[in-house]
Amino acid sequence: MPQGMTKPTIVFDLDGTLAHTAPDILGTLDHILTREGLPKLPHSEAIGLAGAGARALLKRAFAVSNMPLPETRLETLFEDYLAHYETRIAERSHLFPGAETALRTLAKDGHRLAVCTNKTERLAIILLEKLGVAHHFKAICGRDSFPFQKPDARHLTSTIEKAGGLINHAVMIGDTRTDIDTARNAKLPVIGVRFGYSDTPIDALAPDLLIDHFDALHAAVGTLSFTVAR
């Protein structure tokens, strides 16, 4: 890296990347389905949607039960889901091993850190505060932070701008096709984590790099090269 050049901004997905949030996400889904008199969606089937948002989970559960779900009803259930989820947002959720140390190391090394998630911004902030790491991020952006969401490249590039970084000098860290497609659409490198919620083996999605543990992230970022327009 040329002398004087800033370190790349590092943008993290949240669910399935920074934190293991599926227990509380799927626990809330179970609560809604039980209330509606529907069978629970097997967690082995639902976990691949844990990072896709409550609407996707509700749609899948109703489809499996062959139950109609009009858009107006979906929106009502979505609001009910969010209200219940907030009450237990960090009941069983926790950072993946090594995540907090990696955030401290990267920040100390001069990287700007940000979160780009399809969670709502408010819930993302609440969760990261409860997990004790919100202060590490220059920007925490959710599905309602801008008029577009992942995999639209603008969700990622707007997050980078909000964090004060350079759009073409950043890297995405994620666990699913959505994260990889978002980075590709933004023409940015992406590092995939193997411990997340991808319903397709992440190796098959061919991110630029893969890590099995957050202990490997700092070194992985250091191997990336960037062409930065000043």
Catalytic positions, please? 13
Residue 131 is which amino acid?
L
Q: The tokens of 129 are what?
A: 């505060």
Q: Say if CB 150 and CB 178 are below 8 A apart.
A: yes
- Concatenated DSSP letters of the chain: --TTPPPPEEEE--BTTTEE-HHHHHHHHHHHHHHTT-PPPPHHHHGGGTTT-HHHHHHHHHHHTT----HHHHHHHHHHHHHHHHHTTTSS-EEPTTHHHHHHHHHHTT--EEEE-SS-HHHHHHHHHHTT-GGG-SEEE-TTSSS--TTSHHHHHHHHHHTT--TTSEEEEESSHHHHHHHHHTT--EEEETTS--SS-GGGG--SEEESSGGGHHHHHHH-------
Angle at the Cα of 221 from the Cα atoms of 11 and 192, rounded to 5 degrees = 65
Q: How many residues does the chain have?
A: 230
